Amino acid sequence: MTLAATIKGVYAITPDCVDSADLLHRARMALAGGVKILQYRNKSANREQRVEQAHALRMLTREFGALFIVNDDARLAAHVDADGVHVGATDDSVEVARTLLGMQKIIGVSCYNHLTLAHDAVNAGADYVAFGAFFPSAVKPGAAVATVGLLQQARRELNIPLVAIGGITLHNAGMLLHAGASALAMISALFQTEDITDAVKKMSSLFELYPQNGIS
């Protein structure tokens, strides 16, 4: 199994946290619940704090044997020896990220609601693609809207892991898994709950019904 094939299950994305101790506490609770992929995303921190937090999360994910992905910043991902990077439309290209990280690391690409972007990303060497937002998102209220039909078509045409994102909860996750999502990326549904560990466990249990969504 390739490293990229492990992109499946609950994909936790960190909330913006100025308090690094609070961030690490929340991340530990998510990992204790069974999160296998943790993405570091912090739009409010300065560079020094981003480096500090990324280093700490890198060590924490190693403790739990989880993948560590850095959002947007391939240079930071390389600096902390993350397992990969996730890039969007305004970030480094797949080619630049690959040059910075090497062939063994994971590169994921946001494709929003455009299947053509996903094909382009795959052709450029992306290891997984993400679509969304499938539901209204408090984190990105103005995000492009993706449909379940798009996800179904992507599953038919692409043989790489598909990540769904955007307003996903325990109540609406099933339809995305049924449509072919390999992983569900979430922030609020995990980190804004009273019991992060329990929220992850409940969400993880849904994947037992859709083992075919993994890519080997």
User: Which amino acid, one-letter code, is at 149?
Assistant: G
pLDDT band at residue 191 under the 50/70/90 scheme: very high
Percent of the chain whose pLDDT exceeds 90: 86
| Residues 6 or more apart whose Cβ sits within 8 Å of residue 138 | 167, 188
Which is more confidently placed, 87 or 144?
87
What span, in angstroms and rounded, lies between the C-alpha atoms of 197 and 49? 26
Query: pLDDT tens digits, residue range 61-101?
Result: 999 999 999 999 999 999 999 999 999 988 999 999 999 99
Q: Per the structure block, which two tokens stand in for 139? A: 């984190």
The answer to whether residue 1 scores a pLDDT higher than 70 is no
Helical ranges in the chain per DSSP H = 20-32, 47-64, 74-79, 94-101, 115-124, 148-157, 173-179, 188-191, 196-206
Across 191-197, average pLDDT: 97
Query: pLDDT tens digits, residue range 30-57?
Result: 999 999 999 999 988 999 999 999 999 9
Catalytic residues: 41, 110, 140
pLDDT of residue 4: 75
Q: Indicate the pTM of the whole model.
A: 0.95
Contact criterion met (CB below 8 Å) for 193 and 202? no
pLDDT of residue 163: 98
pLDDT band at residue 214 under the 50/70/90 scheme: low
Percent of the chain whose pLDDT exceeds 70: 97
The answer to whether residue 143 scores a pLDDT higher than 90 is no
The answer to whether residue 216 scores a pLDDT higher than 70 is no
Going from the C-alpha of 84 to that of each of 38, 79, 136, 137, the distances in angstroms are 11, 11, 27, 25
What span, in angstroms and rounded, lies between the C-alpha atoms of 202 and 182? 17
